[in-house]
Amino acid sequence: MTTALMPFAAEPPVINEAATAFMLIASSMVLLMTPGLALFYGGMTRSKSVLNMMMMSFGALAAVGIIYVLWGYSMSFGNLQDGTSDIAGIFANPFHLFGLGDLTGPDGPRLIDPFGVGVFIPEYIYVGFQLTFAVITVALISGAIADRVKFSTWMTFAVIWVTIVYFPLAHMVWGGGLLSGSENGLSAKLFGATDGVANVLPIDFAGGTVVHINAGAAGLALALVVGKRLGFGKVAMRPHNLPLVMIGAGLLWFGWFGFNAGSELAADGVASAVWLNTTVATCAAAIGWLLVEKVRDGHPTSLGAASGVVAGLVAITPACGALSPVGSIILGVVAGGLSALAVGLKYKFGYDDSLDVVGVHLVAGLWGTIGAGLLATSTGLFYGGGWDQLVLQILIALISLVLSLVLTYAIAMGLKATLGWRISEDEESEGIDQTEHAESAYEIGGFAASSGRSTTHRPAVPAEQAEGANA
């Protein structure tokens, strides 16, 4: 007689400590980006508005951090590990992993292999990494409505917007939804699929659609609903602290390596290429912005350098894993030049995008997403890949833009009719820091500091020129 052979039990997953350490560092770097953004935006406002501007970033961090744990992760990625179905490819069940209770078992936090390659990390750190993306996206929007909105309405907006707009779009792009490379996604329907994967994969490595097009379109919608600041286009509203702006840009640049390289989820060759591509694209964008300033205005500015840095970071975000270093330089220099030109559109069309969320994040985000279809080394049009990738990139960019714009406009109009957006004209004139927070950023300047009037004497410049530099 022979004994029937029993199958061996599957080996339990083992945590990859190197990848986990890498993700802990990357997540912490991305978290630093929101305080960095607060400095960047705070320096660009007038002195009577700096605290409110920074509070809008910190408020987003506080609110979205809680919401993401409660239902945000479940809506975005709750179906991936468990194989459950989503809702029409738009979002996953918000109650499936509500509060993350199911991520901890008797042996500790559940492990996840996001790419299916045998590299396991605790799902908790994947949650934390994605949490920081949601936070910075909401905070980015605040720059479009500086100086003039109720803090309570902003906080309410953050909760509603991240739930209705951000979580579904994150699921559609990264969670196996309609804009992903899944067999049920848009790309598979257009170009076919093989073994459950679309033949043409959408390129959005770290958030060109989910973060930057999304935030830029939302900023445009809010600017249209909220209306213009007092004196917009008539009074020069110069940044009150340019060193603060440059410090903020430096912190954003540093944190962005966690944003982009961290999206590889492992310290490997791809992450190394992403790091280099991010660096050179950002350098090129700063040069591109400064060249436009020199030709157009006669002077390259520190604000232009800082703004060019951010434009380059935005543009390379979706494409950083698909381009060569030379392609990244091309992408970056175009992004810097385009954004430098685009910040003046608000004067032409009459919307008050205070800190140029539209001119930088929307424009550079669109260019980075679409540019990947041109410059991707494997499938880009310029590398002989044909038109399919470019067509797909244009479609996912436009769908993200329209989705965010329409939904944000509807949310903003609802809040306008209920809570109201604007502080009073007297409060805006006095300064939102005092009226909303009963605080002042600077006491040593007395009346000049609290009123927002500059204490230095500078030659008068046309309001449009002064505002046009405010990127």
| Average pLDDT along the chain | 91
| Structure tokens given for 50 | 């700096």
Q: What pLDDT score does 130 carry?
A: 97
- SS3 assignment, position 122: strand
pLDDT at 117 over 60: yes
Q: What pLDDT score does 469 carry?
A: 41
Q: Look at strands 197-198 and 193-194 and give their pairing.
A: antiparallel
* pLDDT tens, position by position, 401-417: 999 999 999 999 999 99
On the 0-12 / 13-18 / 19+ scale of CB atoms within 10 A, 190 is middle
Confidence tier at 82 by pLDDT (50, 70, 90): confident
| Pairwise CA distance, residues 226 & 470, whole Å | 19
Confidence tier at 445 by pLDDT (50, 70, 90): low
Of 368, 408, 371, 393, residue with least CA distance to 161: 408
Of 340, 317, 339, 326, residue with least CA distance to 280: 326
pLDDT at 6 over 50: no
pLDDT at 135 over 60: yes
Confidence tier at 10 by pLDDT (50, 70, 90): low
CB contact set of 20 (below 8 Å; sequence gap of 6+): 121, 122, 125
* pLDDT tens, position by position, 303-339: 999 999 999 999 999 999 999 999 999 999 999 999 9
| Structure tokens given for 421 | 């957006």
* pLDDT tens, position by position, 200-218: 999 999 999 999 999 999 9
* pLDDT tens, position by position, 374-396: 999 999 999 999 999 999 999 99
Asked whether 43 and 245 are in contact (CB, 8 A), the reply is: yes
pLDDT at 79 over 90: no
For 285-303, what is the mean pLDDT? Answer: 97
For 34-44, what is the mean pLDDT? Answer: 98
Confidence tier at 461 by pLDDT (50, 70, 90): very low
| Pairwise CA distance, residues 130 & 248, whole Å | 22
| Structure tokens given for 239 | 């940044």
**Of 118-122, 391-395, 444-448, which range is least confident?**
444-448
Q: What pLDDT score does 13 carry?
A: 85
pLDDT at 57 over 60: yes
Annotate 422-449 with b (16+ C-beta within 10 A) or e (fewer). ebeeeebebbbbbbbeeebbbeeeeeeb
Confidence tier at 470 by pLDDT (50, 70, 90): very low
Confidence tier at 465 by pLDDT (50, 70, 90): very low
Share of the chain above pLDDT 90, in %: 83
The H-assigned helical ranges of 142-241 are 151-161, 167-174, 186-191, 214-226
Q: Residue 450: enclosing H or E segment and its boundaries?
A: helix 447-451
Q: What pLDDT score does 449 carry?
A: 42
Higher pLDDT, 445 or 315: 315
Q: Which residues pair with 112 in a beta bridge?
A: 121
Q: Which residues pair with 198 in a beta bridge?
A: 193
Residue 312's Cβ-side half-sphere holds a number of Cα atoms within 13 Å equal to 33
* pLDDT tens, position by position, 212-240: 999 999 999 999 999 999 988 888 889 99
Q: Which residues pair with 87 in a beta bridge?
A: 91
CB contact set of 415 (below 8 Å; sequence gap of 6+): 153, 156, 157, 160, 421
Higher pLDDT, 444 or 92: 92
| Structure tokens given for 68 | 């993401």
For 254-279, what is the mean pLDDT? Answer: 96
Asked whether 134 and 72 are in contact (CB, 8 A), the reply is: yes
Q: Please give the single-letter amino acid code of residue 308.
A: G
pLDDT at 400 over 50: yes
Asked whether 400 and 209 are in contact (CB, 8 A), the reply is: yes
For 233-260, what is the mean pLDDT? Answer: 95
Q: What pLDDT score does 451 carry?
A: 42
